[in-house]
Amino acid sequence: MKITFLGTGTSHGVPSIDCMIDGHRHCPKGVCRLSLSDAKHARTRSSILVELGGKRVLVDVSPDFRQQALREKIPAIDAVLITHCHADHIYGIPDIRSYTAHQPQPLSFYGSSESMTAVRTCFPYIFDPNAFRGGGIPRIATNTASAPFTLFGKSVTPLHVEHGNLAGCFGYRIDGMAYIPDIKSLPSQTRASLANLDVLILNCLRETREHASHLVLEQSMALARDIGPRKCYFIHMSHDINYATDGAKLDPWMEFSYDGMKVEA
Ligand SMILES: [Zn+2]
Ligand SMILES: [Zn+2]
Ligand SMILES: [Zn+2]
């Protein structure tokens, strides 16, 4: 399985508009300014592409999907998994039309009932049979998933996680890889689905300041140590994570991801 990190940033992205507006005076570590000259520190909104058995599975469709697809030259998409309905994870969906226009069947989306309802509600023109059927409408089939299911011969396990007060928030396990971009805590029944992981991709919002719906560095490291994968990559990072200074705090088997990073699992 090959994993491409299409985006690794939190909902604001890095650099953030806020820091640009105020001349970077309040950027905690100067990462937004740094990202203008050091592309590794520039983070589009979080998403990965998983290639397995010749098929390409997109996990989330970020508002930056268009530039991610162009950057990685993604030739086709065979299925889409949605973790949850926050804007940074689904607002690139209109650009999926460039792929569905060239495929005979609608593109299958999978997610919680809450996520699938949100997709249909946020983009009613896609699902309204009375909408104008010109060239601008993606062809999508929504599928509700709450238990393990098979996709292209691989078992996909929805991982129910707590992410603030949002209902229906998932991570996903595919074979030995688990992807959990947005999480505050892990229910015990989900913890049981994370044994014997090769690669864990886990939320790490920022260094220290507690957040209501995301893990921060010490919490992310503690959860990763408890799960115990062979390798852990942190994702969904704000401008508070500097690869050099914060990277030195990680265990040897942990790493901060970056846009365009590719790993095998
Ligand atoms: Zn900043
Ligand atoms: Zn979220
Ligand atoms: Zn998010």
Which residues make Cβ contacts (< 8 Å) with residue 39, sequence separation at least 6? none
d(CA 56, CA 163): 27
- At residue 129, the pLDDT reads 85
Which residues make Cβ contacts (< 8 Å) with residue 100, sequence separation at least 6? 106, 107, 138, 139, 140
From the CA of 92, how far away is ligand 3's center (Å)?
Answer: 13
Does the structure show a pLDDT above 90 at 133? no
Neighbours of ion ligand 1 (CB under 5 A): 16, 19, 27, 32, 239
Which ligand is nearest to the Cα of residue 28, counting in written order? Answer: 1
- Burial class of residue 98 (count of CB atoms within 10 Å of its CB; 0-12, 13-18, 19+): middle
From the CA of 84, how far away is ligand 2's center (Å)?
Answer: 7
d(CA 83, CA 217): 21
The full set of domains in the chain, from first to last, is 2-264 (3.60.15.10)
- At residue 16, the pLDDT reads 98
pLDDT bin (cut points 50, 70, 90) of residue 136 is confident
**pLDDT tens digits, one per residue of 218-265:** 999 999 999 999 999 999 999 999 999 999 999 999 999 999 999 999
From the CA of 102, how far away is ligand 2's center (Å)?
Answer: 31
Which ligand is nearest to the Cα of residue 33, counting in written order? Answer: 1
pLDDT bin (cut points 50, 70, 90) of residue 135 is low
- Burial class of residue 57 (count of CB atoms within 10 Å of its CB; 0-12, 13-18, 19+): buried
The pTM of the full predicted model, rounded to 2 decimals, is: 0.97
Which ligand is nearest to the Cα of residue 7, counting in written order? Answer: 3
- Which strands sit side by side in the sheet containing 107-111, from one edge to the other? 140-144, 107-111, 79-81, 55-59, 47-52, 2-7, 262-264
From the CA of 61, how far away is ligand 1's center (Å)?
Answer: 23
pLDDT bin (cut points 50, 70, 90) of residue 54 is very high
Beta strands in the chain (DSSP E): 2-7, 47-52, 55-59, 79-81, 107-111, 140-144, 149-151, 154-160, 170-174, 177-180, 199-203, 231-235, 254-256, 262-264
Beta strands in 73-227 (DSSP E): 79-81, 107-111, 140-144, 149-151, 154-160, 170-174, 177-180, 199-203
From the CA of 40, how far away is ligand 1's center (Å)?
Answer: 14
d(CA 155, CA 149): 6
What's the DSSP call for residue 106?
A: P
Strand partners, 151: 154
H or E element at residue 66:
helix 65-72
